[in-house]
Structure 1
Amino acid sequence: MFDAFGSKIKGTIPSEIGNISSLQSINMDNNEFTGSIPSTIGKLTHLDRIYLEHNRLQGSIRAELCQMMMLGDLHLNENFLSCPTPCCLGEITSLRRVCLHLNNLMSTIPLSFWNLNDLLSLNLSSNSLSGDIPSQIQNLSVIIELDLSWNQLSGDILSSFSAAQSLVFLLEYLDMSHNDFSGTIPESLVKLGGLNYFNVSFNRLEEEIPTGGPFANFTAQSFSQNFALCGLARLDLPPFKTKSPSHSGSRNILKYILPPIVFAILMVAVVTFLLVRKRRSTEISSEISLFQQWYWRRVSYEEILEATDSFSSSNLLGTGSFGSVFKGTLLDGSKVAVKVFHLQFMDLTKSFDAECEVLASIRHRNLIKILSCCVNRDFRALVLEYMPNGSLEKWLHSENYFLDVVQRFKIIVDVAFALEYLHHDHAPDVVHCDLKPSNILLDEDMVAHVCDFSVSKIFGNGETMIQTNTLATIGYMAPEYGEKGIVSTSGDVYSFGIILLETFTGKKPTDDIFGEELNLKQWVSKSIEANSVMKVVDRNLIKKDPNFCLMEQCLLSILRVGLLCLSDLPHNFN
C-alpha cells in the first residue's frame, strides 16, 4: 500500500509509480497534486483501491484505469478532471464504490455504468453531465447510495425507475436534485423501505407526491422548486388534485395558482435548502452527513443484530459511560467492533454526533477507522475496525499479558504520532479529551490505534482552548481541565505523559499508593532525583525481559519525557 494521505505533497504524480507492479492500494488523497493522472498507472493491475480525491488534478480520467480488473474503490472526487468519462470503466465488474463528484466531467453517463451489478455507491454529483437515466438502472441490484445531483440530466424520471424493482430493499440514499428531470415521481418508490434520504428538488416534476413508505418522513426540502408538484400540507405544496373529467381545466387553473404560492415560499425554500445541505444529520438522521464518506460500507440494524448474536454478552468487549462495544462478524465474514450508544441517558445523541464528526474527517494509521454507522429512531451505533489484541490497559494490568520494553516504546510512539496528526497535521485541530490506556487499542501487529472520540472537541477559527462541562477520566485529566473545564491540545499532552509513566511503571495514576501527598508524577520525579529509577520501573520488566539490564539509561530518558509532558505550565505542554 502507498499511503500519503494528507501529507501536503505538491507537484505531479510521478510516472514511475507504474513500476510498483505489486501495489494494491494508493492512498494519496488530501494533498496538492497537480497535472494529470499518469498513464503508467494502468500497469498497476493488482490495485483494488485508488484514493486521489481532494487534490488539483486536471485532464481526463485515464482509460488506462480500465486495465485494473481488480479495482474495487475509485475515488477521484474534488479535483478538476474534465472530458467524458471513459466507457470502459463500466467493464470493471469488481467496482464497488465510484466517487467522481465535484469535477468538470461532461457528456453523458456511460451506458456501461448501469451494468455494474455489484456497485454499492455511485456519486457523480456536481459535474456537467447530461442525458437521461436509462431503464438499465435496474441492473444496479445492490446499490445503496446514488447521487446524481447538480448536473444537467433530463428525461422522464418515471420511465427511469419504473423497471427498477431490484432497488426495493437496498437503496438508502438517492439525490437527483438540481437537474432537469420531468414527469411524475414513481409510486413504486414507496417500496424502498430502507430509503433514508431522498431529494428531487429543483427539477421539473409534476403531479402528486407519493405518501406511503419512506415518503411519510421526507420534508419539503426534498421536493422544493419543481414545476407542478402537489402533496400534503406539511410539504408546503398545493393539495392533491381532485380527479375529474375536466382534467385539462384543472391544469390551467394550476398555472395561475402555483406562481404566487411558489413565490411565497421561494425565500424560505432557498434558505432551508442551504441549511439542509449543511445539517442533514439533524433534519433527517444523524448519519446523513456521513454519506460524504463514500468508502464506508453500509450496515443495517438487522445485520448488526446478526453480527453480534443479538448483542450477546459473550461478544461484549467493554462498557463505558457512553455505550457498549461488541465484537461482531458481518455477512462478508469481516470482524468488526460495534459501539452501541446508551440512548437512555441524556445528551448521548450529541456524543454520537461528535464522534461521527471527528471520525468522518480523520485518517491515520494510529487512529481507529470507522467502517460504517447505523442510525434508527432509537438506536445509534458505529461499526469500527476490530482490534484483536485489545487495549493497552489489558496488557499492562491483566495477568498472563506482558509487553517488553521495545513493545511498550513502540506503542507510546504510535500514540505520539496520533496526537501529532490530530493537533498539527489535521485542519482544524482535534482534541481527544479522554486519552487513557483503555482508549488505546492494539491490532494483530501490536500497532496502537487511539479510539473513542465521544467527548472530543474540534477547534476552529484559530481557537487554542475552549471551556466545557464534560469531564474526562480522573487521573488522566490535566489540572485545568478538571478544575475549570478548559480544553486544549495541552490537555491531551498531559494525558499522554500520564500514560507514558503508567506504561513503564505499571502503576495507574489512581493506584492505592497515591493520595493527596503523593501522585504518579511526584513518585517518578523523586526516584529520578534520587538516582533510583529502578525502584519505579514495572517489576514485570525486570523479571521477564532478558534485555532489560541494557535499557536503564533509555528508560530514564523516556520517563523524563513523560515528566516534561506533565509540566505545570500549560504553554510548555506542546
Structure 2
Amino acid sequence: MNRLCGPIGVNGIIPDSISDASQLIILDLGSNSFSGPIPTTLGNLRNLRQLILHSNKLTRDSSTQELSFLSSLTRLILSNNPLNGTLPVSIGNFSALERFLVDNCSIKGSIPNEVWSLSDLATLSLEDNELTGSVPTAIGQMRMLQVLHLDSTAPFQTILEGEIPNEGSFANLSAGSFLGNSKLCGAPQFQVLPCKASTRQGLKRSVSKPIIYILSAIVLTVLVLELIFLLFRSQKKKSKPLDKEDMPALSTWRRISYQELGHATSGFDESCLLGKGGFGSVYKGKLLDGMIIAVKVFHLQVQRALRIFNDESLVLEYLATGSLEKWLHSHNHFLDVLQRLNILIDVASALEYLHHGYGTLIVHCDLKPNNILLGEGMVACVGDFGIAKLLGEQDSMTQTHTFATIGCMAPEYGLEGIVSARGDVYSFGILMMESFTRKKPTDNMFYLIQ
C-alpha cells in the first residue's frame, strides 16, 4: 500500500501505529476532526512524498523536528490547524518540497530564512497567520516560485514590512499575494505604497518610464513588421523541399525503457499526474540522473491515437514555469509588456520553423495559450502537436475532421475543416490579442454587432 486516504469526519488522535506502513507515499487525512499533536512517528515514513493534514484540530510540539527527516517530501499541507508557535528552522531540511501550505494556523513571529532556501518550492501559502518582520531580499532568488500568499483577511493579523523584491520570480507575482500588509512598499503591480527613495532615484525612475514606453513601442513595431514579412513570404514562397545537405542535423534522441519510466513516475502513480487530455495522460517524473521529465502516455484504445502515434508514450523536458494560459488568466501571476513581447517572438520563431524550416510543411492547428509552455527565463516553447498536420510538396492546404479550440481557429477551419499555414497565422493573431488584453477570444468584448 503506497497511498492512505482517511474517511471524512473522523475524530480522535492520529495513532502512532500509522508509521508501520513504511512504504506509504501519500498520507491524506485532511478535512477531518483529528486533534492532539502531530505524531512524531511520522518521521519514520522515509518514502513519504505527500503529507496532507489540513482542516483538522492538530497542534504542534516537537514533531516538526522529527518530520524534518522526510527529505523526499514534496507536499506538506497543514492549513487550518491551530498549530501555534513559530515556524522552525528545520523546515530547511525539506529539500525536495514543492508545495508548503500552512495558512490559518496561528503561526507567529518572523519567517525563517531557511524557508527561502527551498530551491524547488513552487507554492508557498502563509496567509492569515500572525507573522511579523520584513520580506527578505533572498526571496527574489527563488526561481521555481509561482504562487505566494502572504496576505491577510483580518486587520492587523499579518504585519510584514519593508520592500517587496521586484526581481526573479517576484517580478511575475500580483497584488493578491500581499493583501492586508499596509506596511509593505514596492512596485505599482503589487498595489502597495512606493518605497521612499532619494530625489535622485526618483528622477531616474521618472526618466526611465518614458524610455520603457518608447522601447516597448519600438519592439512592438518590429514584431508587427516581422509578422507582415512572414505573411508576405509565405504567400510568395512555394513549398519547396530542402536538399539533404541543407537540412539541419537531427539530434540523437535518448531511448528510455519502460522500467525506467515506471521508476521515475512511481509506477505512474496518481500523485505524479499532471493532467489528462483527449489522447492521453501526462505524468511528472525524475530520471536516475536527476533530470525532471514529463511523460505523455497515450490512450491506445482511442482510435485516433492509434492512427496518429507510433509509440505508446513521449518523454519530454518538464517545464515547471507552466503554460501561458496560467500566466495570463491567474490573479497570482503577472507578465509585463516586454515579457509578453518576448514570448510572442519565441512563438513566431517556432511557427516560422514549422512552416519553412523543413521540406515538409507542419501546421500546428491548435495554437493557443494553453499550448505555449514556459521554461526557465520565461522562454516560450510551442507544444501539444496532438492534431498537427503534415502537408506534402503539392499541398498548401488539406481537410480534417479533428477540430481545434473554439475562438482560436481560423474561420475556414471551423466551418469546413480546412487547415493551412494561414490558419496558424490567424491563430497567432488571436494569441497576440489575448496576450495583451488578458481577455479570452470568446469574451463578450470581441463580439461584433451584426
Higher relative contact order structure (alpha carbons within 8 Å, sequence separation ≥ 6): 2
Question: TM-score category by the smaller chain?
Answer: 0.3 to 0.5
TM-score (norm 1): 0.35
Larger radius of gyration: 1
